[in-house]
Structure 1
């Protein structure tokens, strides 16, 4: 197995790229270093972050950009200093491709690489050598091996791919905030992230798993995923009062600046915790201080997970038989899938599969 000198992928050239204007073309990857691996991509999930980036929603994007950070593939080239991965291994890459990994870095030395001040995202980010990271809507990707995680044999590539970002984004805060037997958990938003939240909360053994969405059109889906209760905030009368003080933990996956944040906080029990993982292009809504003070509530945030977190999640998913709801599409259909994703048609994660690699995509 070898990798080519040039990679090919779907490139966005301006902020109209997410409207179906990606162009398949060649690009030069970062220089190959002794700590790097090249990966022949089997599958890549479509994440909301991809769309925010393609349209410069979170700030100016460096074009041309190749997005995609829910990647699974086979290793076809291994740097001389790589010891944890060998040729042919099936690995996954999430939203992070680099951190300093220095012993004197408080974050890296404590297994919190995702919070390192030198963190480099898998796409639209600059490496220390000045090159720009390019993501997984492509045939190959090159990344430092520390951020390529081996995939358990029992997980299908199309199922593991969206776990690399969407899955870990909710699994990490669930696990880090005590989700498990006896706990009552709410998941705000029933999209790609939210559906993972319900599935993982159920797999973690939570006593109560409440899906919180605007409308009731996803009730049956939520129940099939493992939800025990459902709140429709735009249709249920006085929902915040009716369900007040009922949840220990809420994970919010929504990316809307006008979400009813104060009403969500009413759902928390004393000393309850609200964790925001969705990232609006605008600001979060304001809240009154007494919404926190009265019950000793805590508001926090969570950013993806470390390589160790991802490794743990993948083995947990394999052991528990966790299976996301994915719709597998050819990499050739990237433009249509991005538009469909933006229009809310995903149920609940699109996964692009390279047509030239499809024979191995189900390994």
Structure 2
């Protein structure tokens, strides 16, 4: 096994690439170091972050960019410092982070919070110290620091594991870190790629009650199949915030709309409840009343992806509980159409791109 000197992938050259104008081209990856591994990609999930980045929605993107940070594949090259951790052919996953400083005096890295390191480098559109830019998983290969690659449990299919590397961990981390489990009543805002993981995880973690919250009832049947005990349709249910007032201990919001009814969501919290935002709008969040917090002593916070050890914990949990994400596998060749369909809300509930050549090879 080996990797080529140049990789190939779908490159976006300007904001119009988010509308399906990426081009399959070759590119040179970052310089290989003793800490790196090369992965032959078999699957890559499509994340909303990909579209935000392609269109420069969160700020100027460095073009050309190859997006994709829900990566699964097989190790084909190993740096000397990583030979005790990996063997050629290992099946691994990579999420939204490709590097952090990893210094022992870093408060975040030294405590297992690498995703919050101030020198965090994203799996794509991130700048390395040598001046090169990270390229993601809409490609045939990816090169990353081995610390941020996680072995995939044998019980998990690659197409199921891929969307967990970002979509799954983004909700797993705040659920675990905010006490989701027996004795807790949990709400998940948004029944999409992230939200469907949130519903399944909250149920599997043993929450007393799981409530899916969406604008309409179009996804209610699906949400209940995923494990939701109740459903709130904010655009259809009259006085929903009053009816369900003080009913939830924890709310995780996965939506990326800046016009969310934030104050109404906070009415759903019980005393000392917690609201965690994980969706990232391209605009600011709406304002909120101080009394929404003071009157019940509730907290509002945020959460960003998760550390390598959290991803490993999540994958083991999913394997043990036999949790099956709702995915649609599409050919890597369809990347342009697939991001358009994703933006149009057609995914039910995560698209995963598959490299036919990699999946046919006997690695």
Provide the rounded CA distance (Å) in 2 between the counterparts of 1:106 and 1:130: 25
Q: For each residue in 1:7-64, what CA deviation from the matched residue of structure 2 results, as whole angstroms up to 9, or x when unmatched?
A: 0000000000010101000000000000000000010000000000000000000000
- 1:359 to partner: Cα distance: 2.9
1:295 is paired with a residue whose SS is: coil
1:33 is paired with a residue whose SS is: coil
2:318 is paired with a residue whose SS is: helix
Match of 1:52 in 2: 52
1:53 is paired with a residue whose SS is: helix
1:313 is paired with a residue whose SS is: helix
Q: For each residue in 1:263-315, what CA deviation from the matched residue of structure 2 results, as whole angstroms up to 9, or x when unmatched?
A: 00000000000000000000000001000000000000000000000000000
User: CA-atom RMSD, angstroms?
Assistant: 1.0
1:332 is paired with a residue whose SS is: helix
Match of 1:97 in 2: 98
8 A Cα contact 1:8 1:140, kept in partner: yes
2:80 is paired with a residue whose SS is: coil
Match of 1:174 in 2: 175
- Correspondences of 1:215-294 after superposition (within 5 Å): 215-294=216-295
- 1:113 to partner: Cα distance: 0.3
Runs (5+) with no aligned partner, structure 1: none
2:336 is paired with a residue whose SS is: helix
- Correspondences of 1:126-205 after superposition (within 5 Å): 126-205=127-206
1:81 is paired with a residue whose SS is: helix
TM-score normalised by the chain length of structure 2: 0.99
2:314 is paired with a residue whose SS is: helix
2:18 pairs with 1:11 = no
Provide the rounded CA distance (Å) in 1 between the counterparts of 2:361 and 2:105: 41
Provide the rounded CA distance (Å) in 2 between the counterparts of 1:75 and 1:322: 25
TM-score normalised by the chain length of structure 1: 0.99
- 1:86 to partner: Cα distance: 1.5
8 A Cα contact 1:332 1:355, kept in partner: no
8 A Cα contact 1:42 1:360, kept in partner: no
- 1:128 to partner: Cα distance: 1.3
Provide the rounded CA distance (Å) in 2 between the counterparts of 1:217 and 1:117: 40
Provide the rounded CA distance (Å) in 1 between the counterparts of 2:135 and 2:281: 23
Q: For each residue in 1:87-127, what CA deviation from the matched residue of structure 2 results, as whole angstroms up to 9, or x when unmatched?
A: 11000000000001000100000000000011000000101
Match of 1:42 in 2: 42
- Correspondences of 1:307-346 after superposition (within 5 Å): 307-346=308-347
Provide the rounded CA distance (Å) in 1 between the counterparts of 2:33 and 2:339: 32
Runs (5+) with no aligned partner, structure 2: none
Match of 1:357 in 2: 358
Provide the rounded CA distance (Å) in 2 between the counterparts of 1:311 and 1:86: 18
2:15 is paired with a residue whose SS is: coil
Match of 2:79 in 1: 79
Provide the rounded CA distance (Å) in 1 between the counterparts of 2:12 and 2:31: 21
Provide the rounded CA distance (Å) in 2 between the counterparts of 1:55 and 1:270: 40
Provide the rounded CA distance (Å) in 2 between the counterparts of 1:261 and 1:100: 35
Provide the rounded CA distance (Å) in 2 between the counterparts of 1:27 and 1:271: 51
Q: For each residue in 1:207-258, what CA deviation from the matched residue of structure 2 results, as whole angstroms up to 9, or x when unmatched?
A: 1000000000111000000000000000000000000000000000000110
Provide the rounded CA distance (Å) in 2 between the counterparts of 1:71 and 1:181: 32
Provide the rounded CA distance (Å) in 1 between the counterparts of 2:163 and 2:77: 24
2:259 is paired with a residue whose SS is: coil
Provide the rounded CA distance (Å) in 2 between the counterparts of 1:38 and 1:53: 24
1:91 is paired with a residue whose SS is: strand
- 1:130 to partner: Cα distance: 1.1
8 A Cα contact 1:10 1:66, kept in partner: yes
Please identify runs of 4+ aligned residues in structure 1 that moved more than 3 A: none
Provide the rounded CA distance (Å) in 2 between the counterparts of 1:168 and 1:262: 26
1:281 is paired with a residue whose SS is: coil
1:102 is paired with a residue whose SS is: coil
- 1:360 to partner: Cα distance: 6.3
